[in-house]
Amino acid sequence: MKPLEIVGVSYSYGPRTVLQEVTFSLKDGELVGLIGPNGAGKTTLLRLILGLARPSSGEIRLWDRNPYKDPVVRQRIGYLPQRAVYNTHFPLTAGEAVFLALPRRPFALGPNSAERAKIKEALALVGMEKYLDTPLSALSGGQQQLVFLARCLVHKPSLLLLDEPTNALDLSAQHRFYNLLAELQQKIKLTVLVVSHDILALAQVAERFLLLDKKIIASGPPSEILYQFINTPLAGACLVQAHGVG
């Protein structure tokens, strides 16, 4: 059963077409990079998968179920939004940040012992267990991103969606992050879809790249996609955004 199938999905925002007849699927346990220039519709596609917006036409299926009729299926998704979304000066410890990703328990000011065990386990997966009680604001950008990754893992998802997870990290931190992601994918049998402009670092671990520019332009092994498109304006646009070269 495929974790994700997108069939002929289009999305318009007013008169602007953001996505046009997008079709692709993910195999179980696959790590796929979704790349493309700014405005290609990458983040919109993630928002549609998460149910934060509805497609104008087409169908999204998660484990062969329609998430609009059966929204519970979305509980199997872990989502890491772009880092700019977070307020990292929020008075939270790393453990509390992970706690907030767990389901609501009325009148609970903090985690109980069972939740604390889950939080520790999630932080251990990303090598951050010793920072359980450290304020988020005292961690480096790379460490904060690992805590946010632990937030996605705490409810043991089967499908992980990541939106620009390395855009504020230096090159070595990007490589460390993607290597960790590849390890986790093997270790806990995750299917992963990563939106990123850091295509060179992502290419080291992704099994497949999907090149999106309103529709899927190409799909295949990263080396093939990079080779095929490296001299096109589209690839140039990706590299300019990723590395600020013109």
Partner 1 sequence: MEMLGYVFVQRALVAGILVALLCAFVSFFVVLKRLAFIGNGIAHAAFGGIAVGLVTGLNPLFTASLLAISSAWVIGWLSRKGRLPEDTAIGIAFTAAMALGLIILNFYKGYVDIFSYLFGNILTVSLPELRLLGVVTIVVIIFLGIYFHDLLALTFDEETAEATGVPVTPLYFALLTLLALTVIVAVKVVGILLTSALIVLPAATGYQLAKDYRRLLAYSLLVSILTVLSGILVSYYLDLPSGATIVLIASFVFLLAFLYGQYVRRIRED
In the complex, the residues that contact partner 1 under the rule CB under 8 A are: 50-52, 71, 74-75, 77, 79-81, 85-87, 90-93, 96-97, 100-101, 104-110, 135, 151, 155
**66 or 75: CB nearest partner 1:** 75
65: helix, strand or coil: strand
**58 or 135: CB nearest partner 1:** 135
Pick left, alpha or beta for residue 214 (phi over 0 → left; psi -120 to 50 → alpha; otherwise beta): left
* Antiparallel, parallel or unpaired: β 77-80 and 57-62: unpaired
Whether the Cβ atoms of residue 190 and residue 159 lie closer than 8 Å to each other: yes
Give me the least distance between CB of 60 and partner 1, in Å please: 14
Local structure of residue 55 (DSSP, 8 states)? -
Give me the least distance between CB of 124 and partner 1, in Å please: 20
User: Cα(222)–Cα(112) distance, rounded to whole angstroms?
Assistant: 44
Cα 237 from chain centroid (whole Å): 21
Whether the Cβ atoms of residue 34 and residue 195 lie closer than 8 Å to each other: yes
**85 or 245: CB nearest partner 1:** 85
**42 or 208: CB nearest partner 1:** 42
Give me the least distance between CB of 123 and partner 1, in Å please: 16
**104 or 187: CB nearest partner 1:** 104
Dihedral (CA of 144, 145, 149, 152) sign: positive
Give me the least distance between CB of 58 and partner 1, in Å please: 20
Give me the least distance between CB of 4 and partner 1, in Å please: 15
